[in-house]
Amino acid sequence: MLERQEKAALTVLVCVVGIVLAAHLLFNAVGRPLVAEPYSPEVPDGALVLLEGSIEGITKTSSGGHLILTVNGTAVFLPENVAVGLELHEDENVTLYGVVQTYRGKREVVVASSRDIQVRK
């Protein structure tokens, strides 16, 4: 049987886990606009950015089912697990969140989830 201190410790642990999980879900729902900065060429690698604009081009990579979008002249990399459920077309307006990285000397925004890209009407 659990002692009184062990029960209290277990209760505190469960509460802390619940609070952390709730904060994570809340941040995913509404927090990104608060911490993401608008994309610009001056944003450093690793920064979470917001990029809005029109899809100027869509290219499939030669290996895997990855997609590379061009949005307002910026390369946007969609890994296969992100691209598989999306139906995107040129000239559509999109809003997306991603992390800036430099790949082979060129800057790009990497989208981590299909929820991070929205087509605007």
Do 27 and 77 lie in one domain? The reply is no
* Dist. CA 7–CA 74, nearest whole Å: 54
* pLDDT of 6: 87
- Split at pLDDT 50, 70, 90, the class of 1 is low
Count the domains in the chain. Answer: 2
CATH for 83: 2.40.50.140
- Provide the domain limits for residue 73: 37-120
- CA atoms within a 13 Å half-sphere pointing along the CA-CB vector of 107: 16
Mean pLDDT of the chain: 87
The alpha carbon torsion through 29, 35, 39, 40 (nearest 10 deg) reads 180
Buried b or exposed e, range 2-31, using 16+ CB within 10 angstroms: eeeeeeeeeeeeeeeeeeeeeeeeeeeeee
Q: Is the pTM of this model over 0.75?
A: no
* pLDDT of 27: 63
**Phi and psi angles of residue 29, each rounded to the nearest 5 degrees, phi first:** -75, -45
Mean pLDDT of 66-83: 92
